[in-house]
Amino acid sequence: MPAPAEREPRSLVELLHRRAAAQPHDTAYIVLADRGGEEATITFAELQRRAHALARRIAEAAPAGERALLLFPSGIEFIVALFGCFCAGVIAVPMMLPRRHGGRDASASIVADCTPRLILSTRRLIAGERGDLAARFAGAGLAWLASDDADGADDETTTRLADPSREDVALLQYTSGSTSAPKGVVVTHGNLLANLAMIRAAFGTMPRSTLVSWLPQYHDMGLVIHVLHAIYLGSRLVLISPVAFLQRPLNWLRAISNYRAEFSGAPNFAYELCANRYRAEQLSGLDLSCWRIAVNGAEPVRAGTIRRFTEAYAPHGFAAAAVYPAYGMAEATVLITAGGRGDGAAMRALSREGLQQHRAVPPENAEDTQIAVGCGRAAIGERIAIADPDSLRRLGPDEVGEVWAAGDNVASGYWSGREASAAAFGATLAGEGEPCWLRTGDLGFIDAAGELFITGRIKDVIIIRGVNHYPQDIEHTVETAHPGLAQHGAAAFATSDAAGAERLVIVQEVARAHRRAAAPDELTRLIRAAVVADHDIAPYAIALIRPGTLPKTTSGKIQRSLTRQLWLEGRLDVL
């Protein structure tokens, strides 16, 4: 008789205990140095010991249920701190390490939203390696703890560790992009375990499946689909820093080849970057035949990118069947839909004009053709629906509407903001049951076979390189770049290049008091520098327009869609 299936753990803490007991000497995580070679490794038993030791220090500094910011560069220390929080019963709040010179900083808003008690970081950062960090958090009354000071033996006679249940909150996942009003998704141990089970079933991964990731660990795709997915399987994860990837993207592929990794995922831009950087003479010995699941998610998946990447790396063993588009968001822990292992990407030719009218119909001719990439089907244990965003009625196959999702992986709401939580997490389909649906804000349709296609976004969120950028944040940066730029006079939006990649466009009014003395070239340079410094994206185009000419509603709201249309048609009153 086959062995009985293992009972699902109650929490990530129990999961860690199982791995440490069953695989104490197996390597859990490997960190590669920026220029190659292994920088650090940790086994499952070492991870448990260090997490327990840190958890006892955390518990002495904060009671269960308090929040702790995780402020780390990519690496093992972040993972130790994450499990230290889990074991202490303290809610982890992963966040991006603030830029040294960025004027826009989400940390203050996150602190105000979740009122943490602690900041966990490395000894070097706390000691002043980044002298600006202490100033950023001064006045908040936060205690600092170094994760790498907890290297001693785990003393079980001291503070008792937590034994969380599936209902207990594990972490707050702050949605990327918004800094003026960030929203912390409340993710429980049950949400994480439900989504991890979906991920394993969807991807068909197993304990022997080596994973590779360069994604930021504070981001849901890096955190859940890679860091926690690996420990859920009991497999090893090879980590590359995001900075190292951006500087040398082909090292990502070399790590997959060298470690014979079966699984690795990234946003669409990463595949595009690797396709553009392809140099046959630099890739001697590269063998990607081991890469069976190449997840493409976190931003719109482009058919052209899939084609270019597959054509470039097919001589190195990469198979088109390994391409694995997926769809998800932090409010659903991460994964919502995924395809079948080995199926490759489902593509469909659609009418551009039809999509503008929210209809998925065949194109009239070549000029009317847009290739849509399917993002798979609902994960096991989850439901998805397409709803009319106004009437809230369920739509049928090939009807474009808002994507809704429901399942044990969907969070209960945001940490604060009852209205936002109710609007996003408590939706009801007209004439159907209880309010249990998550409204994603994305537009799409489901075909007759159950495949989800994303066609656009209801909201004005701009997604570039897998990161959501809220236009109002960029607009604030632009307006404050120089006194000669009008307040509430900016519109930021995205447009697509020939390959389908999104590019940032900024339209800004010049202030009336400076309209005669304005030097457009100098203002443009200042805007570009400010946006790069604050948002890490370079604008594709900047249009300076005359005072009072930015399209707005009668109530004063900026009409970004109309501004985009006027810019595309060359009808703005540009200086």
**pLDDT for the residue numbered 376:** 93
For 86-117, write each residue's pLDDT tens digit: 999 999 999 988 876 554 467 888 888 999 99
pLDDT at 45 over 50: yes
The pLDDT confidence band at residue 67, using thresholds 50, 70 and 90, is: very high
**pLDDT for the residue numbered 436:** 86
pLDDT at 324 over 50: yes
**pLDDT for the residue numbered 347:** 93
**pLDDT for the residue numbered 555:** 44
Mean pLDDT for all residues in the chain: 88
Which domains does the chain show, CATH number per domain? 16-182 (3.40.50.12780), 470-568 (3.30.300.30)
Let me know: does 268 contact 301? Beta carbons within 8 Å: yes
Q: 315: part of which helix (H) or strand (E)?
A: none
Selection from 381, 369, 377, 427 nearest residue 402 by Cα:
427
> Scanning the structure block, which residue is given the tokens 């993002």?
375
pLDDT at 403 over 70: yes
Let me know: does 43 contact 94? Beta carbons within 8 Å: no
Q: What are phi and psi of 449, to 5 degrees?
A: -90, 0
User: Looking at residues 31-56, what average pLDDT do you find?
Assistant: 94
Alpha helices in 161-319, H assignment, sequence order = 189-203, 220-222, 229-233, 242-247, 250-258, 268-276, 303-313
Question: Which carries the bigger pLDDT value, residue 88 or residue 341?
Answer: 88
The pLDDT confidence band at residue 38, using thresholds 50, 70 and 90, is: very high
**Residue 494 pairs with which residues in a beta bridge?**
504
**pLDDT for the residue numbered 509:** 93
**Residue 504 pairs with which residues in a beta bridge?**
494
Tell me how crowded residue 368 is: count the other CB atoms within 10 A of its CB.
16
Of 22-31, 160-169, 417-426, the one with minimum mean pLDDT is 417-426
**pLDDT for the residue numbered 351:** 87
Query: Is residue 401 classed as helix, strand or coil in its secondary structure?
Result: strand
Question: Which carries the bigger pLDDT value, residue 183 or residue 87?
Answer: 87
Selection from 254, 318, 321 nearest residue 291 by Cα:
318
pLDDT at 131 over 80: no
**pLDDT for the residue numbered 96:** 86
For 504-543, write each residue's pLDDT tens digit: 999 999 988 777 776 888 999 999 999 998 788 899 999 9
pLDDT at 15 over 90: yes
Question: Which carries the bigger pLDDT value, residue 228 or residue 300?
Answer: 228
pLDDT at 278 over 70: yes
pLDDT at 125 over 90: no
DSSP calls for 45-86: HHHHHHHHHHHHHHHHHS-TT-EEEEE--SSHHHHHHHHHHH
pLDDT at 2 over 70: no
CA distance 515 to 328: 45
Structure pTM? Answer: 0.82
pLDDT at 316 over 60: yes
Question: Which carries the bigger pLDDT value, residue 454 or residue 149?
Answer: 454
> Scanning the structure block, which residue is given the tokens 């994507």?
403
pLDDT at 458 over 80: no
DSSP calls for 124-154: HIIIIISHHHHHHHTTS-PEEEEGGG--S--
Residue % of the chain over a pLDDT of 90: 58
Long-range contacts of 280-285 (CB under 8 A, 24+ apart): 280/315, 282/250, 283/250, 283/253, 283/316, 285/257
pLDDT at 567 over 80: yes
**pLDDT for the residue numbered 447:** 93
For 193-214, write each residue's pLDDT tens digit: 999 999 999 999 999 999 999 9
**Residue 558 pairs with which residues in a beta bridge?**
552
pLDDT at 55 over 90: yes
**pLDDT for the residue numbered 177:** 40
User: Looking at residues 319-345, what average pLDDT do you find?
Assistant: 93
pLDDT at 301 over 80: yes
Q: How does DSSP classify residue 427? A: B
The pLDDT confidence band at residue 181, using thresholds 50, 70 and 90, is: low
Alpha helices in 403-543, H assignment, sequence order = 418-425, 471-479, 520-535
**pLDDT for the residue numbered 53:** 95
pLDDT at 152 over 60: no
**pLDDT for the residue numbered 109:** 83
pLDDT at 190 over 50: yes
> Which tokens in the block code for residue 510?
């010049």
pLDDT at 62 over 80: yes
User: Looking at residues 35-58, what average pLDDT do you find?
Assistant: 94
**pLDDT for the residue numbered 176:** 57
pLDDT at 460 over 90: no
Selection from 476, 456, 469 nearest residue 537 by Cα:
469
Question: Which carries the bigger pLDDT value, residue 354 or residue 15?
Answer: 15
